Chains A and B, each alone.
Chain A
Amino acid sequence: MSDTTSNPTPVLEARGLVKRYGHVTALDGADFALYPSEILAIIGDNGAGKSTLIKALSGAITPDEGEILLDGQSVRFRGPLDARRHGIETVYQDLAVAPALDIAENIFLGREIRLAGPLGFAFRMLDKRRMRREASDHMRDLNIGIRSMRQAVETLSGGQRQGVAVARAAAFARHVVIMDEPTAALGVKESHMVLGLIRQVRDRGLPVILISHNMPQVFDVADRVHIQRLGKRVAVVEPRNFKMSDAVAIMTGAMAGEAISRG
């Protein structure tokens, strides 16, 4: 997880991304690299282009210039669904769940499983039992202690809801899980739980991109930290041998970005 030097090919890479909104240049030649089985945090001031960067990486926007590579192959995502077909799952900040639907239905939303045989074929009948069983397996894999998959998501606590969104991403991601501010709305205890989930996803072999403004959390959980400033990557640091205060100084421009460790 921390020893990424042995694997030179990034799972997901971006080179020279540019995205302009009228006069605003949200991304100004941004580079990015994510290596296997790591948690890569993206930090940066407001307006640094963090969200724009992950939107480009998750297919939600198309960059004006630059290249995105998945396992070393150049790709162009035509939309979020296209990125998802390539095995990139995103946990959005507002979670994107349907509160009145139950846990299993939310995990399988848009990817429902139909019954085998004539009932599924002719009557399009769903295999609810199988969806519940598999949802339960995914939740158990992440040690999320919820007993019934028939519980409506709105009856869950904030942390548990986040757990459902993470379980959905982990269940379908084959390459990358992206999380935009997953702990922003949570209390201390629930944040702790979600950070635990993020580590578990990483330990199962999926690299995770984490956007967060919470520096102690970032330095606690991330293997590497991508520092974004004015639409560019200005540094990549390893929390194990880098001071938090220096990272913040780079982020705010008080200190020049040191030589970027890769790329």
Chain B
Amino acid sequence: MGDASIVAERSAGPATAEGRTPVSLAALLANLGPLLALLLAMAFFASRSDRFLTGANLSLVIQQSMVVGVLAIGQTLIILTAGIDLSCGAIMALGGVVMARLAVINGVHPILAIALGVLTGAAFGALNGVLVTNIQLPPFIVTLGTLNIAFAITHIYSQNQTITNVPAALTFFGNTFRVGSTAITYGTVLMFVLFGLTWFVLRYTAFGRHVYAVGNNPEAVRLAGININLLLLLVYTAAGLLYGIASLLSVARTGVGDPNAGQTDNLASITAVVLGGTSLFGGRGKVLGTLVGVLIVGVFRNGLQLIGVESVYQVLVTGILVILAVTVDQFARRRQQ
């Protein structure tokens, strides 16, 4: 059938050497923008302060970012599915109080206490997942509800008391080891490992690709025979598990079980995700971008402090960056439609 051999017209523009079509400037900005912003910020602060680029200071920046960093991994998973999680910080505080109280007041073995605290996070994540899938409520409303529930439980359970004198196992990830003259916190290593693991899962497993697809076009995922409810339940539970791990890092960093921990971390994690170039509309983004987003916030906080700028300006700068990031995302999306 000669007449049937119709070759599709070529899409706009020649292919590059790797066989990829060139991307628009907006798409390029969305891809490389976050890293560029991080490098520019670092260059700026390095030029203004001799202390900024020292190993000790950079290690501190990362250590201050590790709790929000791990929360932001879970937040990235959920935002990729076109959801949002307002409850992550509250769940993290609850997990921290659970492990600290169990270990300190109930005398539970520290390792078991840690496991139960982390599992509390996973259970709350699963609750979010069930509400989003089975009752089909919008994630924003569900997590606004569980934010308040987790917050209340935390305060009732802890009787508003900060739990001190936690056993050494709970603060292990706050300890440091030395590379040359620089002290590195174990917790930051754990954070990097979790980012790497999530990167692998999102990029190289069917589950990861389905996370993108469901945020992109849920109907296509359903028609492909994929169980969307199970997929979303797994995503929310995995996010909860990550919040539980963040509980441990928070306890390790501060040395206490604090019922008031993480109250602004939900917005901080969303900020990091958006700064990292992940689309709030779902289906597009990279977890390593989130790592860059976390570091951008950390670098600004630390850098502005070093050059003696009032901390309220950090908030101002973060706000401007978020608006910028969302604008770039909007343009990139519009170009692609």
Contact = CB atoms under 8 A, between A and B. Distances in A.
B336 interface: yes
Task: Specify which of A97, A99, A109, A144 lies most central, judged by the most chain B CB atoms within 10 Å of its CB.
Answer: A109
Given A101-B212, A151-B21, A143 B7 contact: yes
Interface string A128-166: 100000000000000111111011101111011001000
B205 A125 contact: yes
B217 interface: yes
B137 to A, nearest CB: 24
A203 B5 CA distance: 12
Given A101-B216, A109-B213, A145 B223 contact: no
Contacts, number: 121
A75 interface: no
B19 A147 contact: yes
A84 B8 contact: no
B76 to A, nearest CB: 15
B244 interface: no
A203 B205 CA distance: 35
B135 interface: no
Contacts of A159: 8-9
Given A98-B213, A126-B206, A148-B19, A109 B11 contact: no
Given A110-B224, A148-B21, A200 B9 contact: no
A189 interface: yes
A100 B277 CA distance: 14
Contacts of A152: 336
A223 interface: no
A100 B283 contact: yes
A196 B2 CA distance: 10
B307 interface: no
A90 B223 CA distance: 9
B336 A154 contact: yes
A163 B11 CA distance: 13
B217 A96 contact: yes
B178 interface: no
A124 B207 CA distance: 9
A125 B206 CA distance: 8
A146 B336 CA distance: 18
B7 A145 contact: yes
Given A200-B1, A203-B1, 6 more contacts: A98-B212, A109-B226, A125-B205, A143-B6, A147-B19, A197-B6
> Closest 9 CB pairs between A and B?
A110-B224, A81-B225, A148-B19, A145-B7, A196-B6, A98-B213, A96-B220, A98-B216, A112-B206
Interface of B: 1, 3-11, 15, 18-21, 200, 204-207, 209-210, 212-213, 216-217, 219-221, 223-226, 283-284, 336-337
13 contacts: A92-B223, A98-B212, A98-B221, A105-B213, A112-B209, A124-B206, A144-B7, A145-B7, A154-B336, A155-B21, A155-B336, A156-B11, A196-B4
